[in-house]
Structures are given as C-alpha cells and as structure tokens.
Structure 1
C-alpha cells in the first residue's frame, strides 16, 4: 500500500479513482477489459551504489552484477513482471532496455521496480526498490530514487529511466 500513498507524498487520504466511484456499476477486477494504455519503461542506467554501500557489500573480489526487475501490480489482467539482462562487474550499470506493459485499468496499477545484485553461486543481494502509482508517472526521463527494504530512501542510489505512454489502438 505504500506505493499507492506516494500519490500524495505519504500524507494520508488518497481519493479513489473514478472507476471505483461509479454508483451505477459495481467494479469487477476480474472482468475482461480492453487495453487502455501501454506503459513503456526504458531503463537507461543506475548509479549511487558505490556511495551508499561499502566496496565489498555485494561481492568480495569484483564489482556487482546488477539486474532490474520491473512489474505491474493491479487488476489480474495487468499483473506482470519483466527483467533486464544482468550487467556484470559494474558499479554504474548501463542497460538501455525497454520493457512494455499493456494496462487495462491504469488508474489502479502500481509500477514496482527492484534492483538485485545477482550472485551466480548463491542467493541474490538486494540493491534497492520503489513502488509508484502509474497514474502519477509523468512522461519523460526521470531519476528514480530507490529505497531500502524498510522503505527509507538511499542517499545516492537512483535509476535513470524514461516513461512513455502509448494509447491503445
């Protein structure tokens, strides 16, 4: 729910979307609907881990191997999870990968972004996360700040991404 309250900077009440306030029709999240918009997320690069973490936090003998996981949480038809490729041995990874998400109810969709450091020999390490309401995203290039597992902002860790909406035909 923390992602939904980012719409008002975490200060409390968030008005329900109009689709939920229609008195004439009960909203059914499982109903089949046409795609309204396609959210295209171009992940350019990430930076700041070297500043916020020690040199051996992720790997003892080499720079980290980062990968981005991006997903949509919302009505069942909109839910999906996609991944960038892993950039090996780089504190400032450059992905330049575009991921597309068709949305049937964009008013209820949340964009979840998580960075992991892949360990090919064991469990993966957490590199940061954020959750943003799709209705609050603005088109263009953005520096998205990431948070720790408790939801606190890292001082320096950011992803440079480009958000673009395409109306469904």
Structure 2
C-alpha cells in the first residue's frame, strides 16, 4: 500500500462533482488539484463548464475523446527564471558549479489538448534565460491546465526538481507575468519566479 494518486482530471472532465485525493501523496496529481482550485480566487469552489452542467440539445453528454475544433491557441513565451540563489544553498543542485536549469511547459486536459514541451538547458546559470516560445492549440480550454516544472539537468541523466506550478487556462491573463513557483509539497517559494508571456492567438 502506498500514498500514490490517480489523475484527477479524468474525473473532472467527466463531470464528477467531488474527487477524493490522498493528501499525503505529493506529486503531479496534487499539483493539478492545486492548479484547478487556483481558479475563482482560490476560494475552493470552481463551477463546472456549462457543457458539463447540462446535456446538449440531442441529449448527448460531453465526450472528452470527441474530435472537436480548436477554440483558441495559447502562446507561451518563457523568458527567464530567477530567485533560486536566494531560496537554495549554493551547493543544493550541484556541488561545484551553478545549476543547469530547463523548464517543462505542458498542457493537461482532454486527450486532444494534452502535450508537453521543453526549453533548452541553460548550463551553469542561477538566472537562466531561455527566451523560447511554445504554442498550444486548445479544443476544450475550459478544462485545460498549464503545467510548468523547472528541473536541474545532471550528467548522470537524472534531473533534480527545482520548482513547479499549475495554472487554469481559463484564468490566464494576457501579457507579461512574473509566475511564482512552488515546492513539491505545494509551498510557494519566497523568491523563485519565471518571467513569462501569455497570449491567445
């Protein structure tokens, strides 16, 4: 027996009213839960999209696997990150050199929208500057979450966690934003942030 979790989005996209998660099982599933409930001011209540509240005119219920047209495209620019030097010891990531950060930026949602992309690795730099642009066509943006994770690449091939956040697409505001990152347990870092730009095209 362990403290693992399933992907809560599987239940949310089928209209489940309440989804139980193991709060000891820190990891991607709880990050998604934190991201979903950042919506609506973080009050703990998120209204379902209208298409999950009532059936269509032909009495059909929403099918997450349906072939739907693209409603909007999210363009994400990842400019840079900073703050690790203040929140971590100089030897936390690498004993003899600065960390080698890269960012994973992906969409979690219905199968057609789910995708992962990754920046290049910035070697030996506490303040990585990626300046990369990614685009995500979305068929059901109402159920989509933007998942961001920064990791430190190691020569052994096993990377080390350096921060994460998860944001509901429906709540993203256009423009350049300083996006705070969180620990694996969902605790907000004091200084670590990413400078990003969000556009809907």
> Shorter-chain TM-score: which interval?
over 0.9
1:156 matched residue in structure 2: 191
Give the CA deviation at 1:132.
Answer: 0.4
Q: Are 2:165 and 1:133 aligned?
A: no
Higher relative CO (Cα under 8 Å, sequence separation at least 6) belongs to 1
CA distance in 1, matches of 2:146, 2:77: 13
Give the TM-score normalised by the residue count of structure 1: 0.95
Q: Deviations over 1:82-116 (max 9, x none)?
A: 00000000000000000111100000000000000
For structure 1, list consecutive stretches of 5 or more residues without a partner in the other structure. Answer: none
SS at match of 1:99: strand
SS at match of 2:85: helix
105-114 vs 19-28, greater mean Cα deviation: 19-28
Q: Residue 98 of structure 2 is aligned with which of 52, 59, 63?
A: 63
CA RMSD in angstroms comes to 0.9
Q: Are 2:42 and 1:23 aligned?
A: no
SS at match of 1:50: helix
Give the CA deviation at 1:122.
Answer: 4.3
Alpha-carbon spacing, 1:9–1:151, altered in 2? closer, same or farther (3 Å): farther
1:43 matched residue in structure 2: 78
The structure carrying a bigger strand percent of its residues is 1
CA distance in 1, matches of 2:119, 2:158: 18
CA distance in 1, matches of 2:159, 2:146: 22
Contact map agreement 2:55 2:62 (CA 8 A) in 1: no
CA distance in 2, matches of 1:84, 1:19: 35
Q: Residue 146 of structure 1 is aligned with which of 174, 177, 181?
A: 181
CA distance in 2, matches of 1:102, 1:72: 10
Give the TM-score normalised by the residue count of structure 2: 0.80
Aligned residues: 166
SS at match of 1:2: helix
Q: Deviations over 1:50-72 (max 9, x none)?
A: 00000000001110000000110
For structure 2, list consecutive stretches of 5 or more residues without a partner in the other structure. Answer: 1-32
CA distance in 2, matches of 1:151, 1:43: 21
1:95 matched residue in structure 2: 130
33-42 vs 14-23, greater mean Cα deviation: 14-23
